[in-house]
Amino acid sequence: MPAAAEVLYRQGILPSGAPLRGAREGAEPVEGAAAACVNCHRRSGFGTEEGRIVIPPITGKYLFRAGSMDTANMANPGGEAAGPRRSRYTDQSLARAIREGIDPDGRPLDYLMPRYGLDDAAMAMLVAYLRQLSIHPVRGASGDTLQFATIVTPDADPVKRQGMLDVLEHFFGNKNAFHLGVDPPLQSDRRIHFRVVRRWQLQVWELSGPPENWEAQLDQRFKAEPVFAVISGIGGRTWEPVHRFCQSESIPCLLPNVDLPVVAEQDFYPVYFSRGVLLEADVIARRMQEEAGKSGLRRVIQVYRRDDIGATAAQALAAAIAPLGVKAVARELKSAKPARELADLLRETAAGDALVLWLRPGDLQALPVQPGAATSVFVSGLMGGLENAPLPAGWRTIARMSYPYQLPPQRTVMMNYPLGWFSIQHIPVVDERTQTNTYIACSILAEAAGHMLDNFVPDYLLERVEVELSHRIINGYYPRLGLAPGQRFGSKGAYVVRFADPQGKRMVADGEWIVP
């Protein structure tokens, strides 16, 4: 149970159980969750920026010291340059600000800030909450070092794992090459550049055994060596235990290489690049829905392996097409060499069927030369290997692929940056997608951490990522990324593509970018 003060701050519920009410001139009052402090000032209390509006920090550290435009005192988070020009608050002047919207110098606060008619007890509780907000020692952040972990599950692809670790090690190494040693807390802007440079230390948390044991292993690692955040990481069939760990321990877990993430956007701490194969399932479903009338779709046959992520994607697709009223058939591949199984399966197909292949390259290679009688064929790009998918030539004219990235020709320029960096660092490119995403994840972390000044609070890291992510231009494979409160998947859409030629990797879009 969260404390009453936190409920007031985050949910806008008064200790009495009544909704918090905020008033603005010329507008009707806001109530409850809509009136909660957290909306603007955020969980950390460090505020944010929207356009030209700076929402100031309201933690005790900032309220009870004089704001200033002096260059000698610029340590306001968010908008350093826009720090409030005001005297320090006292408990009394803060209560007046909250109730009447007047700052300690008698000037009105911004129109966006409502006035709250709190009684004395609720006011005292709120002020006490602000006084302690975000001042606790942060795990994994010391005067000169930030501790990070990356998480590897035992079922992760070993080649991708190594590619990811190479990128992480080089990125951390580069970061630390500029570290100048222990630095005292910032007192003036003259030390601003030093202060944000902490040494970055990476721990690689390799999990073992079945998924039900992972959370205990993570807890143990975290207790032994606490980290500030989890960066990147790589998974296989399930990422759920890691997601749960991040959320329950309040650790930011940024942008792992997982194609089946956990969809729980009400959770604050885990952040993903996209919904992965679940996004693919929705995009394929959308396309089927659009074509249902003219394609005479009667049956959807999905092929996958039980121990792979395609099994979950197939369930998602079956659920998504339920309203179409077509029959959904699930086919599990069982044998290690599935050529015969696949051939038998294809003999069952008929006109009006859509075949959906949630298969890895090894299984795609085992497909018969010709695709059988199905009217349409969809292949998961994430599982099949995107443009490298080894589809037999006979399939290439009919098969379409869900492709949750920018198309290769359009991303060439975006890719110059990561590929150039790999080259300079002498990092062998063993899996371009994994390594690029890892590099992008590190860049995002570095940017966000760089803007935290010395406010190394986990919640604030995520708040910075939310604010800054959509400013980015270089996103590797992704056309664009963006988050916000309640948004935990950076990229939201996908193309449906087809191979342009019987051989080679050239792909052409079959329609526009789809956001299901």
Partner 1 sequence: MSAGINARTIVLAVFAAALAASFALRAGAADDATDPHAAHQPSAAATVIRSTANYNVPPIKLVRDDGKSVSLADELNDGRPVVLNFIYTTCSGICPLASHIFSQLQRKLGADRDGVHLVSISIDPEEDTPARLRDYARGYLAGPSWQHYTGTMAASIAAQRVFEVYRGDKMGHTPVTLVRPAPGAAWVRFDGFATADLLLQELHAAGHVTAAASPLSPAGR
At 456, list the tokens. Answer: 């190394």
Q: Torsion angle of alpha carbons 33, 38, 41, 44, nearest 10°? A: 180
Nearest approach in angstroms of CB 27 to partner 1 is: 6
Pick the binder of partner 1 from 102, 138, 186, 474 (CB under 8 A): 102
Q: Which is nearer to partner 1, 109 or 124 (CB)?
A: 109
Nearer to partner 1, 105 or 344 (CB): 105
**What string of DSSP letters covers 4-43?**
HHHHHHHH-B-TTSPBPEEEETTEEEEEGGGG-THHHHTT
109 binds partner 1 (CB under 8 A): yes
Q: Contact between 115 and partner 1 (CB under 8 A)?
A: yes
The residue within the footprint of partner 1, chosen from 154, 368, 394, 482 (CB under 8 A), is 482
Nearest approach, Cβ of residue 485 and partner 1 (Å): 5
Only one of the segments 108-116, 122-130, 189-197, 320-328 lies at the binding site for partner 1 (rule: CB under 8 A); that segment is 108-116
DSSP letter for 88, please: P
Distance, in Å, from the CA atom of 432 to the CA atom of 164, rounded to the nearest integer, reads 10
Q: How far is the CB of 306 from partner 1 (least distance, A)?
A: 32
With a CB cutoff of 8 Å and minimum separation 6, the contacts of 125 are 4, 5, 8, 15
CB of 443 to partner 1, least distance (A): 17
Task: Give how far the C-alpha of residue 223 lies from the chain's centroid of Cα atoms, to the nearest Å.
Answer: 24
Q: Under the criterion CB under 8 A, does residue 120 sit at the interface with partner 1?
A: no
- CA-nearest of 332, 264, 259 to 302 is 332
Which of 1, 17, 28, 266 is the binder for partner 1 (CB under 8 A)? 28
| Out of 148, 461, 492, 496, the residue judged to bind partner 1 by CB under 8 A | 492
Dihedral of CA 368/431/499/353: which sign? positive
User: Applying CB under 8 A, which of residues 18, 81, 424, 484 lies at the interface with partner 1?
Assistant: 484
Distance CA 120, CA 115 (A): 15
Residue 167: which of 392, 423, 466 has the closest Cα? 423
The site for partner 1, by CB under 8 A, has a size of: 44
Between residues 13 and 333, which has the closer beta carbon with respect to partner 1? 13
Indicate the residue among 357 and 481 with the shorter CB distance to partner 1: 481
List the one residue from 295, 485, 509, 510 that touches partner 1 (CB under 8 A): 485
Interaction between residue 323 and partner 1 (CB under 8 A) = no
Alpha helical stretches, state H, 339-430 = 339-347, 361-365, 381-384, 408-424
Span of 158-166, 328-336, 385-393, 481-489 interacting with partner 1 by CB under 8 A: 481-489
- Interior CA angle at 239 toward 233 and 245, to 5°? 85
Task: Report in angstroms how near the CB of residue 493 gets to partner 1 at its nearest.
Answer: 6
Candidate segments 111-119, 235-243, 329-337, 408-416, binder of partner 1 by CB under 8 A: 111-119
What's the CA gap between 392 and 346, in Å, rounded? 14
Comparison of 305 and 488: residue with beta carbon closer to partner 1: 488
Region near partner 1 per CB under 8 A, out of 36-44, 138-146, 217-225, 335-343: 36-44
Q: What are the DSSP E strand ranges found in 245-375?
A: 253-254, 270-271, 299-304, 327-332, 353-357
Q: Please state, in angstroms and rounded to a whole number, the distance separating the CA atoms of residues 255 and 230.
A: 9
Name the pairing type of β-strands 115-116 and 145-152.
unpaired
**Closer residue to partner 1 (CB): 107 or 306:** 107
Contact flag: residue 34 with partner 1 (CB under 8 A): yes
Provide the token pair at 77: 């988070």
The distance of closest approach from Cβ of residue 302 to partner 1 in the complex, given in angstroms and rounded to an integer, is 24
Note whether 319 binds partner 1 by CB under 8 A. Answer: no
Cα gap 300→25, rounded to integer Å: 58
Q: Are 14 and 20 in contact (CB under 8 A)?
A: yes
Which of 111, 350, 388, 420 is close enough to bind partner 1 by CB under 8 A? 111
Structural contact between residues 449 and 146, judged by C-beta atoms closer than 8 angstroms: yes
For position 30 contacting partner 1 by CB under 8 A, the verdict is yes
Segment 40 to 99, residues that bind partner 1, using CB under 8 A: 40, 48-53, 55
Residue from 81, 214, 194, 200 nearest 149 by CA: 200
The window from 160-168, 198-206, 414-422, 480-488 that contacts partner 1 (CB under 8 A) reads 480-488
Binding-site ranges for partner 1 (CB under 8 A): 24-28, 30, 34, 38-40, 48-53, 55, 101-102, 106-113, 115, 467-468, 470-471, 480, 482, 484-487, 492-493, 512-513, 515-516
